[in-house]
Amino acid sequence: MRGYLCTCLMLCLPLTALAFPVEVELKSQGVSIAATSGYMSNIATVTLVNQGQHAALCEATFVNGPERPSASRVRIKAGEKTVLTQAFFRQINRVRVTVDCKAA
């Protein structure tokens, strides 16, 4: 029984070691945007929801240490939700995402 518990514990350890934080800084100018972050393997995700009455133009910049920052641009209609993703080739310690949105 003790060996079984130790095996289960050791199987769970690598999963927690792969987790990395995704920090989101949201700059919304005249629009109501909500942002949530997540990750899968070496892919960082940001979900943007336009809660306002007008369409919004958003630009998200993903930064992971030594890699070149990558920008994604999207137009979000009123009440619409979209997911932005960025895959990284190097080991991820922390991802910083700056989201800048303005009215379309």
pTM: 0.77
Is domain 19-103 in CATH 1.10.357, yes or no?
A: no
Given a contact cutoff of 8 angstroms between Cβ atoms, the answer to whether 101 and 31 are in contact is yes
Number of C-beta neighbours around residue 102 at 10 A? 14
Question: Tens digit of pLDDT per residue, the chain (104 long)?
Answer: 665 554 554 565 544 445 678 899 999 999 999 999 998 888 999 999 999 999 999 999 999 888 889 899 999 999 999 999 999 888 778 899 999 999 98
Domain boundaries, the chain: 19-103
